[in-house]
Amino acid sequence: MAMALEDRANLDFVLSLRRHWAGTVYPRLRGDFDAIDPPPPVVNDPASLAPLVQGLPTYPWFSWLERGSQKMLWRAVTDAVVHEGPLSPPPAGPASVEPDPDLVLPQWYTDWDIHLQPGSFWSHDLAGRVYELGARLVMLGENDDYGFHRLFVQTALPARPYRRIVDMGCGFGKSAWPMKQAFPEAEVIGVDLALPCLELAARRASERGLAVRFRQADAVATGLEAGSADLVTSTMFVHEVPTDVLPAIFTEASRLLAPGGLLRFLDFQRTGDGLRDLAMIEHGARNNEPFLPPMIAADLPAMAAAAGLVNVRWVGFDERGGGRQETLSWPRRSEWHFPWAVLEAEKPQ
């Protein structure tokens, strides 16, 4: 998008601040933590380290910069989108939107401004555009061309024929487009609660010449035919869902899958590194993602198995390198980066 010089300067400042938080402040916090004498015990409950970590000299800077820069981000992004003004009419193209005027949004979804985005993804016409631009900065400016999502498609989705792919919690379409590009013969359907995001997703798909269906529906009840999908996916979705709702999502995914169909959910997992796992737990509070800490602690493979899926396991995902890993592991880096992982499962033949 074209933007005014002031808006570009504001966005560049926020991006620089977030890179400083990830690349300078977090390594300093790590150094303070590693210098503790005697070393803290290795614990299964990273939250028990909170009093110790919160007493470190770098912790207030790390904590404040995460939440403070996130607030600055959304303010700068919202200003840029408002100043851009209305978009031109959407292009005539192959993508489509299927709104549900009778859909009642769940209270757990409407009660929170997820990611600290004012009004969240659903509450006003500009919400999808604000989310789209903000997502680039949340990823430290390293996902402008959606390379993160293309890497997921290229490395985590087996290359095979798919009749139908269902992308749950598709947002503004950032994963659905690469799937359609990679598997052009497949029918790709993106499902989400937020109509502003779906309308933007269809616009962007049509701009790319991609025939993707976007459907406003709850992921626990998509309204799609049983056994009609060969692949059910989600990216950055399940950590934004209450844990008592997650079993119903796996049940719906299992219902949608044909025998031999695959499930691939990209999200977060614990690393076994107490400091890093504590930072993720506290990220949930600092970033208005209340369902993230309990999701990381929950047994999602057991939920998937209870829904009738087999060969369930987590594997690591390196978003800055090779993508999907063979085990639940990640490359070691000094800077802060999220512990992405892929939950893999399949429907029995």
Q: Determine the average pLDDT of the residues in 230-252.
A: 98
pLDDT of residue 182: 97
CA distance 202 to 96: 6
CA distance 46 to 72: 29
Question: Would residue 96 count as lying in a domain?
Answer: no
Residues 151 and 33 in one domain: no
Q: Collapse the DSSP code of 280 into the 3-class scheme (helix H, G, I; strand E, B; otherwise coil) and give the result.
A: helix
For the chain, where are the alpha helices, taking DSSP H only?
5-20, 26-34, 50-54, 59-84, 107-110, 127-138, 147-156, 176-182, 195-207, 246-256, 274-286, 292-297, 300-306
DSSP for residue 241: S
Please give the tally of structural domains in the chain.
2
B/e letters for 38-62, b = 16+ CB within 10 Å, e = fewer, are eeeeeeeebeebeeebeebebbebb
Query: The dihedral of CA 178, 192, 283, 294: what is its sign?
Result: negative
Pair 174, 58: CB distance under 8 Å? no
Question: Would residue 97 count as lying in a domain?
Answer: no
Query: Residue 315: which domain range?
Result: 107-346
Task: For residue 259, give the CATH number of its domain.
Answer: 3.40.50.150
pLDDT of residue 143: 54
Residues 66 and 119 in one domain: no
pLDDT of residue 146: 84
pLDDT in tens, 183-220: 999 999 999 999 999 999 999 999 999 999 999 999 99
Residues 165 and 263 in one domain: yes
pLDDT band with cut points at 50, 70 and 90 for residue 299: very high
pLDDT band with cut points at 50, 70 and 90 for residue 4: confident
In this prediction the pTM is 0.96
Question: Would residue 91 count as lying in a domain?
Answer: no
Tracing tokens 């993602």 back to the chain, one arrives at 289
Residues 48 and 146 in one domain: no
pLDDT in tens, 321-343: 899 999 999 998 899 989 999 99
Question: Would residue 19 count as lying in a domain?
Answer: yes
**What percent of the chain shows pLDDT beyond 70?**
97
**What percent of the chain shows pLDDT beyond 90?**
90
pLDDT of residue 237: 97
